[in-house]
Each structure stands twice: as C-alpha cells, then as structure tokens.
Structure 1
Amino acid sequence: MSLDNLRDLYQQVILERYKKPRNKGTTNPVDRYQKGHNPSCGDTIELTLHLVDDRIQDVKFEGEGCAIAMASADLMAEALKGKTATDALEMVQRFQAMMKGEAEFPQELRKLNVMQGVAQFPVRIKCANLSWHTLKAALELSANAQPAGFVSNE
C-alpha cells in the first residue's frame, strides 16, 4: 500500500470513529473509573471498565476533544474487550512504542495500527495517547479505590 493510500485510510478510520464511536457511554456496572486530561489541547476523557475475574468485559468512554483522541479511545475500547488487565497494560506499552515508531500490533489487533499515522505529527501523539494513559491509571487502581482527579498525559 502506498504512503498516500495509507494516509487516506488513517484519516478515514479516524473520522469514522470520531463521528460514530462504537464504545461511547458508561459501563454497567462500573468497576473502574478514571478521568484523563490533555492540558496542551484540552482533550478530556472519562473511562469506565467492567471487569470480571481480572478480565475486561466492557470498556466505555465519554469525552470531548479532537478526532484523534476520540478515535483512539474508541479503537482502544473495542480492542480491550476480553483481555486481562495484564494484557491491557502490555497493550498500553505497545501503543506507546508504536507512537514512537518502535512497534506495531499483531494481526489480531491490526485495527489499532491505523493510529500509526499519528506518529507523523508529533504534536498529536499526546492526543492519541490520552485514553491509553487513562486506562493504565484505571487498571492500576485497587478494586474499590477512588481515582485522584484527572490523569494528565504531560
């Protein structure tokens, strides 16, 4: 696939997920909750997770921000369903490495690779990473702990 075709695909998927997110809302029940904020551009996200036996059953988000931040949250939420918390934390590391051009996701998670296009715009990497930082903070909370305000990705 040519670079122009890849760039078009990247833009198309981001716009589609921004306009019609598939994972917007709040899980029922809410087992983990965390707010995230990107101070450099104002993106905010509220992430909820439903866990059963350390396995993510559902992930939903609410938020306001740019197309990249919201599309990244939507793609992330879809990819996490059925994963263990440990798997999810490994995915956070892989996503952050992908934003640096150091990794990509395997075939079964290839939808996340569309976010690689963000790496061409260094100022937008924080937008793509916001939901992933928020997820990490939510998973690192103990089961009944209250989140400490917003997590910042700066």
Structure 2
Amino acid sequence: MSDSDLIKLYSQRILALAADIPHLGTLEAPDGHANKRAPLCGSTISVDVKLADGRITDFAQNVKACALGQAAASVVGANIIGRTRDQIQTARDQLKAMLRDDGPVPDTPFDGLEVLIPARAYANRHGSILLSLEATLAAIDDATKA
C-alpha cells in the first residue's frame, strides 16, 4: 500500500468519525451483550443493548479497532437507537455487499457508511468495518434467546 493510498483510505472524515464514537462504554444491566473479534486484524468490539418492543432503546459499545472500524462504529452508534434487528441485519448485509461486491451504500439511516467506500480494495479491513453491526446483531440475539 503506497502512502497516497493510506492517505486516501484514512481520510479526514474517517478520522473525524473515529475520534467521536457515540455510546462508548457499557450499560448497567443490559438485556443483551456480545463480543466480536475480526480474526484477520484482531479488532474487537463489545456491545450492550436494551430492547423494548423489538427496538433498541439503549446501546453501548467498547471499540478496539483500526480507524476504519472505529468510523463504522461511530456511524452505527449515531443511528442505532430505535432500530430493529431486521433493520440492522439489512444494514450489515448492505455494508458487506458495498465492500465486497461494489454494491450500493446502505440505506438510511446507515448511509453515512459510504465514507468507507475507499476500503473496498482492502479486504483485510472488511472484518473490522463490519464488527459493530455484527456485534449488535449478536447482542440482540443474546437478549431475545429463549
């Protein structure tokens, strides 16, 4: 990877998002919790959720990831309250298609993930970028398991 590729990949917008991640920390008595790790790069995210009527009412995340994973967690954290599992799964699937298959940007409210389009060429970063949505899905599953 050349220096100009790195500069493009870690744009000012990505770095600004990474520096301002909403809902950092943990929840007291969450309904669900999950830890996820991207094996290729070692990034990790833990997520706590509270649910009511199938929607996220409170959310917290601990993010130990590269700037790309942090930027994705920032966009997710800013838009996660009030969302359903189906909406989050759709966003995850759309983000995965955007990165791997040159698919379109995820639907609103997760369309801010478009900032990560330059990461398409760096498959080793895709796992970190997907972590926040995947950990949120796992935390919802933990909260709703019978």
Gaps of 5+ in 2: 1-6
Coordinate RMSD, CA, aligned:
2.5
Kindly report structure 1 stretches of 4+ aligned residues shifted beyond 6 Å.
Answer: none
Deviation at 1:104, TM superposition (A): 1.4
Deviations 1:18-46 (A, max 9, x none): 22222211235411110011222221111
Compute the displacement of 1:9 (Å): 9.3
Partner of 1:31: 31
More deviation, 95-104/135-144: 135-144
Give me the whole-angstrom Cα distance separating, in 2, the residues matched to 1:32 and 1:123: 29
The equivalent of 1:127 in structure 2 is 128
Query: Is the aligned partner of 1:136 residue 2:144?
Result: no
- Within-5 A mapping of 1:5-84: 11-84=11-84
Give the equivalent residue in structure 1 for 2:110: 109
| TM-score between both structures, scaled by the size of structure 1 | 0.77
Q: Unpaired runs of 5+ in structure 1?
A: 1-6, 146-154
Alignment length (residue pairs): 140
SS at match of 2:37: strand
Query: What residue is the counterpart of 1:96 in the other structure?
Result: 96
Residue identity matched to 1:78: A
Q: Contact 2:79–2:109 (CA<8 Å) still a contact in 1?
A: no
CA distance in 2, matches of 1:108, 1:136: 16
